[in-house]
Structure 1
């Protein structure tokens, strides 16, 4: 089809001027499914699938990708011509296949998926040249310039500049000659130096795949050999399952070495790359050069340079967040998904895709190997391994002889926390006596403690003692979280912030607002009062702003400059602290509340991971988990250090309910500013919902988070047997529904979040 509003306007727009021009289908990164046909001017031939082009779309010019031959359903006279071909490598067939597959599976517009693959459009523009300087004369006597010692030094430095290197900038030349930049400017104006444009790409050090790595244990060596073979053999998926501290990273480094030795690229996906401070250091120690990072905290200019370098094949290894999966690798040979179970790999905003699953799709399209690494693999991955669809490589022992501590359960009903003295006033306590005793002993031994509480801020709820008013976000149906050190109340969903009021907003009573429940800041306040001599830090995503702060904290902990860490899930994985021997989980039951079908699985994975921080070196570790329900299957499996036991119970529960991975789920989230219109839309969808024996539609009902960023939200849930192809059903369902204006329906296939 032709682009919307694509009317011929003058000779350049009339394809008939080119004679019988070839037409091609172009996909553009806008939220539509359609391909648009364009004429190919003769001067742009040969043009092939994957070539990047600029095309007119309505009244603007858009970047696009040639997707194939045109459909020939638009008269040639109405076709508009492609304006130019972009001087960049074409988008590979595997990446185009990933875009199509992701769009078809998630029911997102294909152009919206393509936008993720063209996320840095400025990277397609030629690099801006800098100004370099070269000598124009052999001696200053050949010019009218006065001879000075400074000028002689500059001219000599310019003549001796290595010819293999690009011409130096004014700053480089001034630094080499030991003069000011004004001297360079004067020499250029006087004709002694010539200013020349220099285009150069950033220098990216190449990792050495033949550099010797550490000595591997027999189990590690066996797994490493198997991964090396997989990296040579084309498409495969391997689950690398190892207990925390078993050396999974060093093992999959061997697969990366094999891919590099073949001259191919490698991608490592990490769930929270900005806070995984030491992974690049470990990579550099192994390969002699750092990997290229890719995450949202990178400056825009650095993202541009990396995107372009990846496209031109100058980046051998990228370590990145989920979006790195859509980078334009010309010769990708291996994908590693570390912590494959982590829910951070599921994107909820925009295109709702799971990067772990899409990594397998991209690997199949590109005929390459995937490694899924985890100490607590997802139920889906475990079942795929048991069914033989994935290879399975277990690492059951910690490396170097360290032992995995068995968590102890502290029953808060039998050991209730005792209040502590806060300036003469008893204050609520959140630490039970057994955990306090263990912390005191750890301090006496000059070892470190990690207290884990997955709640940011000071308190999750603030209410008025006089009238019971609760401080709620004006944009979302959620409580405001107090951040006492910044004296603000904050919504962690829409980022609304307001200063902490001195009087109740409802009844105007002064000094009546009281915090309810603990966050890490409030827990740290108690720890500081009970252990005033301890060196204490709080580690959460809002106290560790970016990878630099995270790296500095990790270094302090490794050097023994910290005694007690109070942290959220940013401290739960990927860290190796030799002096950390005690892990205390303050509220082990926290993640089990609510109706999330994966709540038990996520809680088990998170607590198992955080428990694995203890005793990773020669010193034995200890883990204490405070709980009000020690008989819960999750708590029992954790106490027994028995993931298999938990997975068996979880699998049977899901099978009985026909929940994923034994069934299919698709969530439809109806949202809009008008609550009545949202409710009407939900009912309209329910009336035309698909019906069959092997499926059911639940809802509509207000979402648990009924208002988000001022948008009212209702949910419907399609539940179907595993054999049902849900995408065509949902597509027809949406097409049949008549919705009020101003209402949006978001489709989430395989939902992870149920808020």
Structure 2
């Protein structure tokens, strides 16, 4: 009987096999002159017309030693493909480890035998009760765990930084595993650099063999090993980044999404799915509990957790509040927020004198300071004052950043890099200047400003920088974080990488050097991201109970009285969320409406915009004449095509068109109906200049 298997093509393909194959079975099938990995998506089909039967190619190999991917997993993948407007095969195969596409059935069988031996030799899974019982729970933690135990969720764990959210995750996982000896728990973190520390916490509690990691930083062999452990059920806990939301977990009992507000959960290439939203869907579909944790929840999640009031039935989530920090008096332990008006400082000041004095004082006491500047490199732009030349990228509509450490000009969009010219390329002026500052320059100038300061033992101040440039090598991030934790660093300079989830016990001062850039952005989500970033940064200070009452968060701003900073000073996330949600309701923005972007990449900006405008015009005509679509089309608003903020990358022009609707269902119907229309336009000779098009549902940046 023929069985359909998926490849990376858009639609299912039919192959034949001597015996019926169960849905979810992995196979190898011929595709053109190649042999590729496929998944049997449905059961046996009726025999095709005899005239066509000879054209149906046979399945080349069956991975029958591997259990089939179950119906829950296939349903999750099908939903993701349908909702995010991607091919089913693309999403399904992207969820599998790359090495599965290369191994033969015999090679996989050997790996499975090895995995079985390792599982047999591993300690029996179960609860290290002494480890958890040695940690005393706060009243907030006890109340949160009681609700998680007795209610269905989903839960929004609104916990202040330092309130003990991780211990709640650990206890909830313990309870889930204790109820079922085969249960599995999925824990998601937004970025790879947060994985090692959380992995260590879970391994210490449950044992090394019970926990498997899944993220893109692993080698292909490690990814396959972790995937097999999850799929076979030998891994009781799977901890990973957004890709892990599509892991095969046949006995899933609990899903945890840490830092649920983080934009890193949204995939930005290929199938642009939100791992947080898929986690919630997966929990609902499989009947398992989901915990979303954050000190600064996304406004969508906060709105979904609103209590019932009057005619408002409330949101679908249960909000669990943990407002206090461990070891602090009720509601206390927060860093004092101090604002510095940079308009009153000398022109060109990088670190205001009061802040510099505070840093010197902390270092002299043996404490640590953390300085946030969310821009890497030495300076964003080099320029010539004589002729006006700037370090533009020849391939992108952006400037190349000056990196002093290797004397390079590097584009952070396409990666194009060159050595810094000895003189202006246009006029020959040798006096080329820099505009703006990055973390490299901040590190250099701090070293000069703190040159005469001594640590308690008389040693000079030690400064370290953590950003995407300083941690590019294997193991560099872990090594630098270890130095910070060991007290071998006095002042840590970095980008947003240093603000998320790190438990720096010696940090008592945090400073945001130049956070104003996002205050007046055209992106409506910019204030939300800025507030979250600064709240996360402030949470790095005063985590040790001994420093409660002395920790400080400094803000250098040209707009110190901005309402966002006022709410940050009061540590008032609910007030900030209320203000932002009121503004979004008035403007008709998410979560009160639903958005999607149609994007086109082309050889010219005109070609990209023409393609999108033609699609919109044809859609309006075709859908208005279709009784099945006229209602949905009327509920969707199409905006004109515009260039992206960075409109050219790697020589390709980029344009986008926004679609907006108060009805998610109407927007989905229109987007699905657009697929054949867009394919047809792409094939039209008039639009040959279009390199590609894509759909981004629920975009995080507009």
Given the two structures, how large is their TM-score scaled by the length of structure 2? 0.88
Task: Name 1:271's counterpart in structure 2.
Answer: 190
Shift of 1:531: 0.2
2:81 alignment partner, SS class: helix
Matched, 1:391 2:318: yes
Matched, 1:478 2:398: yes
Cα separation, 2, equivalents of 1:325 and 1:105: 15
Cα separation, 1, equivalents of 2:664 and 2:465: 48
User: For 1:309, which of 211, 220, 229 is the aligned residue?
Assistant: 229
Task: Name 2:281's counterpart in structure 1.
Answer: 361
Cα separation, 1, equivalents of 2:222 and 2:516: 42
2:305 alignment partner, SS class: helix
Greater mean deviation of Cα atoms: 88-97 or 302-311: 302-311
Task: Name 2:580's counterpart in structure 1.
Answer: 650
Cα separation, 1, equivalents of 2:416 and 2:125: 44
Task: Name 1:748's counterpart in structure 2.
Answer: 696
Can you list the C-alpha shifts for 1:20-51, whole angstroms capped at 9, x where unaligned? xx3333222x041x222233313xx4x21111
Structure 1: which 4+ aligned runs deviate by more than 6 Å? none
Matched, 1:430 2:366: no
Task: Name 2:552's counterpart in structure 1.
Answer: 622
Cα separation, 2, equivalents of 1:208 and 1:326: 25
Contact kept? 1:407, 1:622, Cα under 8 Å: yes
Shift of 1:129: 9.8
Matched, 1:403 2:333: yes
Gapped regions of structure 2 (runs ≥ 5): 307-313, 452-459, 625-632
Cα separation, 2, equivalents of 1:124 and 1:354: 32
User: For 1:225, which of 130, 141, 146 is the aligned residue?
Assistant: 146
Cα separation, 1, equivalents of 2:516 and 2:376: 16
Cα separation, 1, equivalents of 2:95 and 2:356: 51
Cα separation, 2, equivalents of 1:217 and 1:312: 37
User: For 2:76, which of 87, 95, 98 is the aligned residue?
Assistant: 98
Can you list the C-alpha shifts for 1:706-729, whole angstroms capped at 9, x where unaligned? 101221011111111135521221
Cα separation, 2, equivalents of 1:98 and 1:325: 10
Contact kept? 2:227, 2:247, Cα under 8 Å: yes
1:325 alignment partner, SS class: helix
Cα separation, 1, equivalents of 2:524 and 2:115: 57
Contact kept? 2:97, 2:223, Cα under 8 Å: no
Cα separation, 2, equivalents of 1:206 and 1:303: 23
Shift of 1:484: 0.7
Cα separation, 2, equivalents of 1:572 and 1:632: 22
- Over 3 Å counting, the alpha-carbon distance change for 1:704 and 1:324 in structure 2 is same
Task: Name 1:334's counterpart in structure 2.
Answer: 254
2:383 alignment partner, SS class: strand
Matched, 1:717 2:694: no
1:437 alignment partner, SS class: helix
**RMSD between superposed Cα atoms in Å:** 2.5
Matched, 1:287 2:212: no
- Over 3 Å counting, the alpha-carbon distance change for 1:243 and 1:499 in structure 2 is same
Cα separation, 1, equivalents of 2:516 and 2:473: 29
Shift of 1:309: 2.1
Shift of 1:704: 1.2
What number of residue pairs does the alignment pair up? Answer: 649
Contact kept? 1:207, 1:289, Cα under 8 Å: no
Contact kept? 2:635, 2:663, Cα under 8 Å: no
Cα separation, 1, equivalents of 2:6 and 2:565: 51
- Over 3 Å counting, the alpha-carbon distance change for 1:126 and 1:227 in structure 2 is farther
Greater mean deviation of Cα atoms: 513-522 or 555-564: 555-564
Can you list the C-alpha shifts for 1:333-352, whole angstroms capped at 9, x where unaligned? 21111000000000111111
Task: Name 1:246's counterpart in structure 2.
Answer: 163
2:566 alignment partner, SS class: helix
Contact kept? 1:558, 1:578, Cα under 8 Å: yes
Task: Name 1:135's counterpart in structure 2.
Answer: none
Task: Name 1:194's counterpart in structure 2.
Answer: none
1:408 alignment partner, SS class: strand
Counterparts of 1:605-684 in structure 2, within 5 Å, are 605-617=532-544, 618-619=546-547, 620-684=550-614
Cα separation, 2, equivalents of 1:742 and 1:208: 59
- Over 3 Å counting, the alpha-carbon distance change for 1:289 and 1:441 in structure 2 is same
Matched, 1:64 2:38: yes
Cα separation, 2, equivalents of 1:589 and 1:650: 18
Matched, 1:107 2:28: no
Task: Name 1:40's counterpart in structure 2.
Answer: 17
